[in-house]
Chains A and B, each alone.
Chain A
Amino acid sequence: MGVSVQKPFFLWRHLNKLRWVSLSIVFTMLVLLPFVHIYQTYVAAYAYDLLSPSERQLYDVMEALTGPFTDDPAQDLDAIKGNTWSGTFWGWKLSDPLAAAGQAAAGVKTRSALYWPFLITTAIPIALTVVFGRFFCGWICPATILYELNTNFAAWLRWAGLKPGNRHFDKRIKYAVLALGLVLSGVTGSMMVAAMYPPAIIGREIYYGVALGGFGAGTVFFLATLLFDLLVARRGFCRYLCPGGALYSLLGRYRVVRICRIVENCNDCAKCNAICEFDLDPMCDDFGQECNNCTACMAVCPTDALTFTLRPWDGPTRGPGHLGRQHRGKSEIDEKTKETA
């Protein structure tokens, strides 16, 4: 019996590069937008002749960058504004579902009614999360790019002989943090959950730092999470503490697009488990609700054993990979597979 060995679509192992492009674009935009805003204010005030040399330099650079796209910067550049917490794209408003949850919680104290136009701005992110799971964490979150670079930094430290922390905790802690954040929001009547959510912090801190002349307390908190990741647990904040990650995990529990292992191609090398930022177990078919479809495991897999599937649950554990040492010699069919492979 010739086992038809399934091959994943050849571009899927390159999705991880696309992901880095996506993360870089989001982060670059977050840095760029405050400068764009300053430039717009100069344009709106016809202030070029009054600017100091450094301000004039900013004006010239932004004019060169945006010139090809617009004749009327003061108006047209309002098309893209905001950050991943809440933003507007050509009039389309998109908000983080956690913002809606936090606002609803904060409204408990003031007995505010729900404001539907705002909840609707979270509809597209929620729908995408229901389909693609926790994709925000891997593909968009502006903190992710810094956390992943931090992971790489930890790898350098390890190479240099230092020992970054790699402790493991219960992943359910972040649901408690989410609950805690919402309760704090409800008690104080203010968005306390945004004070412990790195993407919201980064979005506004970059704006404060660039356009308003100073970082706030959020930067201290974010640096603390970087240190936590470095010294205590790899990618620890996202894995164990992030309230937004908790909400996205819950929403993406029955996501339709998920990664699965092709057991026939797997050789049990465990590179997927090593690369996984979220401490999942792709080698044993265990993705769970935490997987953010970041596709790092697909990119690292040497035998094309990981692919996408469309079903709202993980498959059963299918045992050792058929190309692996554990499985070798167990059945004739697999012997054949091995020979043909």
Chain B
Amino acid sequence: MERRGFLQDLTVGAVVLAAGAVPYGFLALLAPGGQRGGAAQARNYLRPPGALKEDTAFVAACIGCGLCGEVCPPRCIRFHARDGGTKVNTPYIDPEQKGCILCNKCMEVCPTEALIETPLPDIDMGIARIDRTACYPWVDRGICGACVSICPLSAKAIGFKMWNQYRPVIKNGCVGCGVCVEVCPHPSVPIWVAERTDETARKQKA
């Protein structure tokens, strides 16, 4: 009987450990690891508008309720699943799939401080950047202007270079919503949303 009780305790202990370790293990095991790491991830995935600047703070604040996705009219907000690691269930926007339309609904509905209501000019999901060695008008392979015509902030965020009607240039008013990335017709998508640093801002001005 003594041994049986001990075995029972052992089973119980194992179950308790499993209850904690299994979900964590799932996430760790199922994360593809390295497939989309580092710079690639920073280039592709945005946090929804009004998100906390520090991503660790955002992950800690987000409770993973999915409300932001559930009110998003263009359904651009998706959620990290197996690829997320500890970021699992936190929202992201992949502008190559769908850009944000800056409708504010996600900020209004978020119960936590993860997304805070922010006036439009202060939203900072990043700043768009253009690869001038690939963009069609920049390499003189035709005229395009898709990104300029779709931009919801029009002249504040993106415009044409003065002496060539069709070469797009990002301006500092860009909030990084990513609809330009969504519409870019070039197969390699030479426009992307980068993290806004002083350096990016300066480079784009030039």
Contact = CB atoms under 8 A, between A and B. Distances in A.
B contacts with A: majority SS: helix
A177, A194, A200, A217 — which one has the most chain B CB atoms within 10 A of its CB? A217
A211 interface: yes
B200 to A, nearest CB: 25
Contacts, number: 171
Interface in B171-196: none
Interface in B120-149: none
Contact of A78 (B54, B63, B64, B71): B71
A203 B66 CA distance: 9
Interface stretch (A79-87, A140-148, A271-279): A79-87
B7 interface: no
Nearest to A88: B109
Given A177-B19, A196-B23, A224-B22, A118 B113 contact: yes
A188 B61 contact: no
Interface residues of B, number: 45
B157 interface: no
Contact of B70 (A37, A170, A190, A218): A37
A110 B70 contact: no
Contacts of B88: 190, 195, 216-217
Interface in A35-88: 37-38, 40-41, 44-45, 74, 78, 81-83, 85-88
Contacts of B65: 82-83, 85-87, 95, 99, 200, 203-204
Contacts of B78: 212
Interface in B45-80: 54, 56-57, 59-67, 69-75, 78-79
Interface residues on A, range: 35 or more
B61 to A, nearest CB: 6
B47 to A, nearest CB: 14
A177 B57 contact: no
Interface of B: 8, 12, 15-16, 19-20, 22-24, 26-27, 30, 54, 56-57, 59-67, 69-75, 78-79, 81-82, 86-90, 105, 109, 111-113
17 contacts: A33-B70, A83-B65, A85-B63, A95-B111, A110-B57, A112-B61, A118-B113, A180-B16, A180-B19, A181-B20, A189-B56, A189-B86, A190-B87, A191-B62, A212-B69, A216-B79, A217-B82
Given A188-B24, A224-B22, 18 more contacts: A37-B70, A45-B74, A83-B65, A86-B65, A95-B65, A95-B111, A102-B63, A173-B16, A191-B62, A192-B86, A194-B89, A195-B88, A200-B65, A204-B64, A211-B70, A212-B69, A216-B89, A217-B82
